[in-house]
Copies of this chain bind each other. A is one copy, B any other.
Amino acid sequence: MDTTISNPTGHDSREGLLKAARELIVGRSYSAVGIAEICAHAGVRKGSLYHFFPGKEALTLAMLDALYADFEREVLIPGLTGANGLHARIKAFVHAIHAFEASIQAESGQLPGCPFGNLAVEMGTHNPTLRQAIRGHLDAVTAHFRSVLDDAVQDGELPPHTDTDALAEQWLALMEGILVMAKTDQDPATILRLGPALGALLNPTPEARHEP
């Protein structure tokens, strides 16, 4: 009857593999983590992995889907919609990202940066499948950003002619860059120090008097 709970012998292995892949790949990188290590960490033999997934790439793809879903539910939505007012939301979001990174660092010893950006950088030039999947997740993040910006336009916090599409894309780029720097420093404080720059991107350009 119930479809989600019954695991006679069941899909424990599948979920364990996804969890292990997430912890290991997010904590290090795609190519630094092998199939054998993922299986060992999940307490599963290698053959079982290939029963549930065609291979390492497919496992990673599924892991990224689940990771994005969790990230959206636990960080993106609470961080971006919990507070009232644009600047309060920015502040809350930055702190949510900071907490996310710091917690992973606390339990794995490594500050990972953005898992999606990391994979995009690592595999972007030689694995189109992975690259495009990640591009999709990043687009979803951008959509959340734009939604927050559109709300702010609606509430009069931003001028009505604001190009929220462009601003959301700039936010994503800056956020990715902040996480690259935080990872390079291995220091979550970098996120708090650079986070306010998200707000600075919203400031109006005083004039545009250089060459026409």
A-side interface residues toward B, CB under 8 Å?
27-29, 31-32, 85, 87-88, 110-113, 117-118, 120-122, 124-126, 131, 134-135, 138, 166, 169-170, 172-178, 180-181, 183-186, 193-194, 197, 199-201, 203-206, 210-211
Contacts and interface: CB of A to CB of B under 8 A. Distances in A.
A87 B206 CA distance: 13
Contacts of A206: 203-204
Contacts of A211: 88
Q: Which of A113, A169, A181 has the most CB of B within 10 A?
A: A181
A177 B184 CA distance: 13
A120 B203 contact: no
Contacts of A175: 177
A120 B200 contact: no
27 contacts: A29-B31, A32-B126, A112-B125, A118-B122, A120-B184, A121-B121, A121-B180, A121-B183, A125-B183, A125-B186, A131-B186, A134-B184, A172-B177, A172-B181, A173-B177, A173-B194, A173-B197, A174-B174, A175-B177, A176-B177, A177-B180, A180-B180, A197-B201, A200-B203, A201-B201, A203-B203, A204-B206
Given A169-B194, A174-B177, A122 B121 contact: yes
A131 B184 contact: yes
A131 B138 CA distance: 25
A31 B170 CA distance: 30
Contacts of A181: 138, 169, 172-173, 176
Q: Which of A28, A197, A203, A211 has the most CB of B within 10 A?
A: A197
Nearest to A128: B186
A29 B31 CA distance: 10
A95 to B, nearest CB: 14
A22 to B, nearest CB: 15
Contact of A180 (B31, B126, B173, B185): B173
B210 A200 contact: no
Given A138-B184, A199-B205, 15 more contacts: A28-B126, A29-B122, A32-B126, A121-B122, A124-B184, A138-B181, A166-B193, A169-B181, A170-B197, A173-B180, A175-B177, A176-B181, A177-B177, A177-B180, A200-B201
